[in-house]
Amino acid sequence: MSISSGATAAPRGGAVGSPLLAVDDLQVEFRTGSGVVNAVNGISYTLAQGETLAILGESGSGKSVSAQAIMGILDTPPAHITGGTVVFEGRDLLTLPPEEQRQVRGPGISMIFQDALSALNPVYSVGFQIGEMFRAHQGLSKKDAKRKAVELMDRVRIPAAAQRVNDYPHQFSGGMRQRVMIAMAIALDPKILIADEPTTALDVTVQAQVMDLLKDLQRDTGMGLILITHDLGVVNEVADNVAVMYAGRIVERGTVDDVFSRPAMPYTEGLMTSIPRVEAKGGRLVPISGQPPNLARIPSGCPFHPRCPRRRIGAEAAPGRDCAVDHPPLRLVVPGREAACHYSEEVLGV
Amino acid sequence: MSDDSSRPSDRDQEVARAAAGATTGSGASEHGGTTASEPLLQLKNLEKHFPLTQGIVFKKTVGHVRAVDGVTLTLGRGETLGLVGESGCGKSTVAKLLVALEKPSDGQILYKGRDVARMGRRDLKQYRREVQIIFQDPYASLNPRMTVGDIVAEGWSVHADIAPKKGRLQRTQELMDRVGLNPDFVNRYPHQFSGGQRQRIGIARALALQPEVIVCDEPVSALDVSVQAQVVNLLEDLQDDFGLSYLFIAHDLSVVRHISDRVAVMYLGSVVEEGTDSDVYGSPSHPYTQALLSSVPLHEPHLRGQKDRILLQGDVPSPANPPSGCRFRTRCWKAQDICATEPPALVDRGQGHPAACHFAEARSVVPVDVE
Ligand SMILES: Nc1ncnc2c1ncn2[C@@H]1O[C@H](COP(=O)(O)OP(=O)(O)OP(=O)(O)O)[C@@H](O)[C@H]1O
Ligand SMILES: Nc1ncnc2c1ncn2[C@@H]1O[C@H](COP(=O)(O)OP(=O)(O)OP(=O)(O)O)[C@@H](O)[C@H]1O
Ligand code: SF4
Ligand code: SF4
Ligand SMILES: [Mg+2]
Ligand SMILES: [Mg+2]
């Protein structure tokens, strides 16, 4: 394992060690009264020890649903996992019986959510809730569990942990509650932590504190981190690799450096030109036209084609590569980079 | 457009708009910090304290939330003033005070040199028309039972002089077209539109009253990245076309820099630093501004790691019980004894722009990109 010691930490790019987790062709749909919502349409990725993989995408692109499928916390109905495998420690989590799933996933993979307040139980002290992890999974006594809880609160940098262990969630600020969630998530030393927009609800100064904490914990434990976010800045500052999602699919994947410096997919390109920069006033923004698609009615061919400035349709298209008709699979464009676009070579200029 | 342009106030307005238009140039980002004429709006020592009550039957005031606590700002014609700061620092309260949704506890709002609190009914009505607001949440701010056409035209029932009854439908559709909505959808309801489109409806509703000032309270915060830029560009275009002035409120420092000529940074109810976009972003002089800027993640790989990292300790104190002296002192790494006793004034201490810190010192935090 090669964990470098730069200011931003983490091994950047490429595969690091052997994969901890392999997701292959995962598909999830919601069967609702008004039709089928195709939320996740065949996504695949791997995560290595010590790696931070960012899943980047706009609202409704399927980021959370794909993570919830891996965690086994989707409600069926309405959600149905209609295909794919999630291999962790050599076993496909999706086909294990529920009881075994829990035994494997429980200590091995944990998740933190965007909204820490609603994820915590308001009637129990935070110390009790953190301690519960040890009582339930390791059979510790009440007293030992509490001692462990204080240790963990210290580790996630909650000031005066010993005094605050009996406080209730509402007595903590948003940033402190998110630390409590992180404490619970790392209590059992998971190999993988999935963080679903862990800082989106927080102020930017608190967001920086929490991201810093996550990176330090990752460096100490070597856990793999899947970071779900819509913030390109967060991706750039903390992730090694990035998977860009659009309409329930991964449309581009590679190292953050490569993808952000030279996107191979017009959607990623559009995201980069849409956002203003804090380090310069910059000229006029170049937005992506239109809106993200409704997942109950995903456009034919390339799902991005109605908004794509580079689309080629009909006579303009190369044979078998009509953007309105032919679906572009995620494919290797140049070494280390995959993109789901018929014309990625042109986008990259290779 | 209006059928009684003979009224003096309307004529004034046309002249003002022409003048503003002339200095605005072709892009909102081009007018720099130059605001030649007298300010259109002035906030002087503005305060809003909300009572904190206890008890249900007999309400007893047990303290005050000092949401806005001595804010002084000016907004010039055709100018965009950005207001940034973290959650709860008082940005929306400033916005509500400006559009008279809340009454100040103390201080003044001067519009074209006149105190809004002392305006008579007629002038106040005019003020309410000329200073419009758009909100963060395009879902909550539109009545779900009204059609888009009715929402856009709603203000005309109070300000009937702006649009003659006969031409209202046509005018509504023109406005929809101007903000990028399909005019054929005039009879649709808000839930039939996406977030970005709903924000356009809110913009059309504000424009319908031919305002001079639009207070934009987090207008793009709820929108997807790819849609944010569409709305930002629309706001810039409208400013050029109509010579509008904006108070642009957001917690996203990049968006604020992009759109603003000047920027004010708020912390716990007061302004801690103010200046042109290059003053505040290029030479931030208040420790809070520096920490705030250093927390913004940069999205360009070649700039990664080039930023000063300032990690603040702790959380924002409660505005019901702010620290004595300098409000930032509980989180400030430069605090000295004087900071606990003397509130620092918002003045220029040699940095070329004002900062409310006894030990103000310009420091470059974000890398200057030379691409
Ligand atoms: N219970 C449900 N019933 C029907 N559709 C659902 C349900 N839950 C999620 N979806 C749909 O699945 C799609 C993917 O949702 P998901 O929550 O994964 O998006 P996301 O990428 O996490 O977005 P956000 O950034 O807003 O969190 C969305 O279109 C959503 O509307
Ligand atoms: N009507 C009210 N009664 C009591 N307190 C209020 C009221 N409105 C606002 N406050 C308080 O005043 C302070 C400032 O609130 P305000 O909404 O202006 O903040 P803001 O800067 O807009 O925050 P955000 O970024 O979260 O929108 C907060 O502490 C808030 O709780
Ligand atoms: S496949 Fe066609 S429509 Fe899709 S991103 Fe590529 S060029 Fe655009
Ligand atoms: S006045 Fe003192 S406490 Fe306040 S910002 Fe300046 S140095 Fe920090
Ligand atoms: Mg989500
Ligand atoms: Mg607000």
> Residue A11's pLDDT band (boundaries 50, 70, 90)?
very low
Nearest-angstrom CA–CA distance, A349 and B9: 58
Kindly report, residue by residue over B294-343, the tens digit of the pLDDT.
998 888 888 887 877 888 877 788 888 899 999 999 999 999 999 999 99
Give percent of chain B above pLDDT 90.
Answer: 58
pLDDT at A300 over 90: yes
- Whether residue A165 lies inside any domain: the answer is yes
Average pLDDT of the residues of chain B = 85
Classify domain B39-52+62-145+192-260 by CATH number: 3.40.50.300
Nearest CA to ligand 4 atom 6: B357
Kindly report, residue by residue over A62-90, the tens digit of the pLDDT.
999 999 999 888 888 899 999 999 999 88
Chain A residues in contact with B300 by the CB 8 A cut-off are 236, 260, 277, 279
pLDDT at A332 over 70: yes
Distances in Å between the Cα of A71 and the Cα atoms of A16, A83, A192, A225 are: 23, 15, 11, 14
- Whether residue A57 lies inside any domain: the answer is no
Nearest-angstrom CA–CA distance, A221 and A189: 8
Average pLDDT of span A272-295: 88
Distances in Å between the Cα of B235 and the Cα atoms of A142, B13, B306 are: 58, 20, 32
Beta strands A52-57 and B80-84 are unpaired
Between A and B, how many residue pairs show a Cβ–Cβ distance under 8 A?
Answer: 150
Reported ipTM: 0.85
pLDDT at A182 over 60: yes
More confident residue, B215 or A160: B215
> Hey, which residues 65-124 in chain A have their CB within 8 Å of chain B?
none
Chain A residues in contact with B303 by the CB 8 A cut-off are 279
For position B13, what pLDDT does the model report?
43
Mutate to test the pocket of ligand 2, among B92, B99, B103 (most ligand atoms within 8 A of CB): B92
- Whether residue A35 lies inside any domain: the answer is no
Amino acid at B48: K
Query: Lowest-confidence range among B3-12, B47-56, B217-226?
Result: B3-12
For position A105, what pLDDT does the model report?
80
Closest CA to A256 of A241, A238, A234: A241
For position B193, what pLDDT does the model report?
83
Exposure of B88 by Cβ count < 10 A (0-12 exposed, 13-18 middle, 19+ buried)?
middle
Chain A residues in contact with B371 by the CB 8 A cut-off are 280
- Whether residue A140 lies inside any domain: the answer is yes
Helix (DSSP H) and strand (DSSP E) numbers for chain B: 11, 10
B268 touches chain A (CB under 8 A): no
Does A289 contact B258 at a Cβ distance shorter than 8 Å? no
Average pLDDT of the residues of chain A = 87
Nearest CA to ligand 1 atom 22: A64
For position A17, what pLDDT does the model report?
54
Does B233 contact A279 at a Cβ distance shorter than 8 Å? no
Closest CA to A38 of A83, A86, A93, A73: A83
In chain B, % helix, strand, coil (3-state, to 5) comes to 40, 20, 45
Average pLDDT of span A254-274: 95
A18 touches chain B (CB under 8 A): no
Nearest-angstrom CA–CA distance, A343 and A267: 12
For position B12, what pLDDT does the model report?
41
In chain A, % helix, strand, coil (3-state, to 5) comes to 35, 25, 40
Average pLDDT of span B241-264: 94
| Domain hosting residue A121, numbered range | 117-187
pLDDT at B367 over 90: no
For position A6, what pLDDT does the model report?
34
- Whether residue A296 lies inside any domain: the answer is no
Nearest CA to ligand 1 atom 26: A59
Domain positions in chain B are 39-52+62-145+192-260, 285-341
B169 touches chain A (CB under 8 A): no
- Ligand 3 centroid distance, CA of A301 (Å): 9
> Is the distance from CB of B43 to CB of B109 less than 8 angstroms?
yes
A282 touches chain B (CB under 8 A): yes
- Number of structural domains, chain A? 1
DSSP code per residue over A13-35: SS--SSEEEEEEEEEEEEEETTE
pLDDT at B68 over 90: yes
B68 touches chain A (CB under 8 A): no
Mutate to test the interface with A, among B30, B191, B199, B227 (most CBs of A within 10 A): B227
- Shortest distance between the Cα of B330 and any Cα of chain A, in A, equals 14
Helix (H) or strand (E) holding B274: strand B270-276
- Ligand 6 centroid distance, CA of B89 (Å): 8
φ and ψ of A318, to 5 deg: -75, 155
More confident residue, A128 or B371: A128
Kindly report, residue by residue over B176-187, the tens digit of the pLDDT.
988 888 888 999
pLDDT at B22 over 90: no
